[in-house]
Copies of this chain bind each other. A is one copy, B any other.
Amino acid sequence: MGTIGDAGEFGLIARLTRRLPQGSDVRLGPGDDAAVIAAPDARVVATTDLLVEGRHFRRDWSGPYDIGRKAAAQNLADIVAMGARPTALLVGFAAPPDTCVDWAETLYDGLADECRVVGASVAGGDVVGASEITLAVTALGDLGGAAPLTRSGARPGDVVAVRGRLGYAAAGLALLDAGRDGPAELLAAHRRPEPPYAAGDEARSHGATALLDVSDGLVQDLGHIAAASGVQIDVDSSAVPAPEILGPDGQHHALTGGEDHAFAATFPPGTVPPAWTVIGTVAEGAGVRVDGREPPTGAWDHFPT
């Protein structure tokens, strides 16, 4: 029942690290100036995200376990989206001194459990005081000798395909915002995305030319591929899965909602892996067209006015 202020920096670190199993990629875990992680490929893939209370999560809408799962998932998905295998997370945790140690411990359980899904570990981090809860998650990964799967390799004639749920998290967020308490599947999708991590290996082994995880919304993220690759992407909205559970705004959520951490990729024709859904094509030009028109707006802006 104690607070992290009572536990103190070193007491809190001791209580949190005790809950963090260290996998075989971790050569030196928490407790020194830095961690040491295996990087057998002789390159390391690295990404970092900040999650701020009230903007990226709400404690009245999500419990600490789900917040931890989600914070880990969104960074692990970025590693997988490079075609790499996640090896470790580093987690910076800022919180008011009156935050319960229990809350922090449960958050770290969520981080550790999401890492376990992909065989990674929480290998290091930092804890500091702050007036709002902030999580800074860095994920590391290994390419295993392959070239990174970037956003810049899409070529005219490729097809565009997706793997994973689209619009579920956005629909769940809209429900919470409206004070609704179901459908449970959508609320759960907002609280704890379940990225289909196998997508990275599938995309790589089937010769994907570009890959990313959908974090800002499908149309906006396809725009990143179009810009980086110097191509136009044409989406057929009727091919984008928008099941009935998403409600009347289902297609809008599926096209613009982020945070499900589905994967989107481009493949040469005829090479799309079985579990993927073809939703469009790559052409010469620029930008994204949906059914031949300018796409809908409504994607996530991190600095809303």
Contact = CB atoms under 8 A, between A and B. Distances in A.
A136 B48 contact: yes
Number of copies: 2
A129 interface: yes
Nearest to A127: B302
A8 B134 contact: no
A1 interface: no
Contact of A138 (B46, B52, B131): B46
B35 A42 contact: no
Interface stretch (A118-126, A160-168, A178-186): A118-126
Interface in A266-305: 301-305
A51 to B, nearest CB: 8
Interface in A80-134: 81-82, 84, 88, 90-94, 97, 123-132, 134
B128 A55 contact: yes
Contact of A52 (B42, B130, B301): B130
Interface in A198-220: 212-213
A228 interface: yes
A202 B145 CA distance: 34
A46 B42 contact: no
Given A34-B47, A129-B302, 20 more contacts: A7-B303, A8-B301, A9-B301, A12-B303, A32-B212, A33-B82, A34-B45, A34-B141, A35-B47, A36-B45, A38-B43, A41-B42, A44-B140, A47-B90, A48-B91, A48-B126, A92-B92, A97-B303, A134-B136, A136-B138
